[in-house]
Structures are given as C-alpha cells and as structure tokens.
Amino acid sequence: MKQLLQMKHLKIITPLIFTTLLSACGNKVQSINTDMNRTENLIFAKGKKIENDNFTGTAWLNNLVDADSTNQNAVGSVTFEPGARTKWHSHPAGQIILALDGVGYYQEKGKEKVIVRKGEVVKCPINVPHWHGASADTAFVQIAITGREKGETVWLEPVSDAEYHGGQKER
Ligand code: MN
C-alpha cells in the first residue's frame, strides 16, 4: 500500500518536474532570443556593422551626432554582440558611456574589470587607457559621448582573451 502511494506520488511529481524543466528551458531560450533581438525595441537603430580593426568581434555603430564648432561632443550608439569589445584606447577629452541595454564590461588600465548594466553611467577619465564591450554571454548597447575638442581617440593594442575573461567586480 505504501509503495502504491509512492508510485502515485511519482506519477504526479514526474510530470511536474518535466513541466518545470521545460519551462526553465523555455525561459532560457526566450532570454537569449531577447538578448539578440533586444535592439529592435530600442529607441536608436543599431546602425552599421563596424568594419575597422579597432574592435574585436561584431559591433554596430549608429553615429548620432558629429562634433562641430557649436557642440564638441560626438554621440554614437554602439551595439556589441556577446564577446565583442573595443581595443584598449584613450580619449584626449574623456568620454561618458550610458548603458542602454544588456550587460557590458569596462576596464581601465591597472584596475579590475567592472560589470556595467542597463541604466548605469561610466565616466572615462581623460587620457586613461581603457576598453569597453559586451559581456561574454549578453549583448551590450551603449551611447558614447566623446569630447573631440582635444583630438581623436587614441587606439592601442587589442584586448586579449585573458584580459577580456579576467577578474571582474560589480560597480
Ligand atoms: Mn572609450
């Protein structure tokens, strides 16, 4: 009788376990799809695929504002696919990064890599080498506001895989 009861329980519990597992998998797939398609829901279009070698992996640029004599900031929306990042570089007049979506990384030379999430803001100091990009498994969308009054971005060496996957901390 006891065994029969256990069997009965199994019959009830087994489908429950499968349903839970299936819905867990479903959520996972959905969140990955959302990550890949999330730019469709954003205000700014993804723009054009970046073809220059200042980036590793696949990234997209929508150049929103060119700097001019009235306003010396360039503004661009950059979408990094998972794993994509800039080379090490520095800005002669600094930069502000607005995280619009996803999960990204930001690292200044000599410091630990920092995780940057949707809604956060990063200030890149003047002439400090750094890089930014997507996290390893989630895309990242940023608006970069870059001062141009002291010249163009100075591009340095690529971010190695070891650097990219190195230690990290929350902000
Ligand atoms: Mn930068």
Q: Report d(CA 146, CA 94) in Å as an integer.
A: 6
Q: Report d(CA 83, CA 22) in Å as an integer.
A: 28
For tokens 């890089």, name the residue: 131
Read off the pLDDT band of 2 (50, 70, 90).
low
- Give the tens place of pLDDT for each residue, 113-126: 999 999 999 999 99
- Closest C-alpha to 80, from 144, 30, 160: 144
CA of 1 to the centre of ligand 1 (A): 70
Environment class of residue 133 by beta-carbon count within 10 Å: exposed (0-12), middle (13-18) or buried (19+)? buried
CA of 72 to the centre of ligand 1 (A): 16
CA of 132 to the centre of ligand 1 (A): 6
Q: Report d(CA 106, CA 95) in Å as an integer.
A: 12
CA of 24 to the centre of ligand 1 (A): 37
Q: Which residues of 97-114 are buried (b: 16+ CB within 10 A; e: fewer)?
A: bbbbbbbbbbbbeeeebb
CA of 86 to the centre of ligand 1 (A): 8
Q: For domain 48-170, give the CATH superfamily.
A: Jelly Rolls (2.60.120.10)
CA of 95 to the centre of ligand 1 (A): 6
pTM: 0.77
CA of 27 to the centre of ligand 1 (A): 34
More confident residue, 31 or 14: 14
CA of 39 to the centre of ligand 1 (A): 21
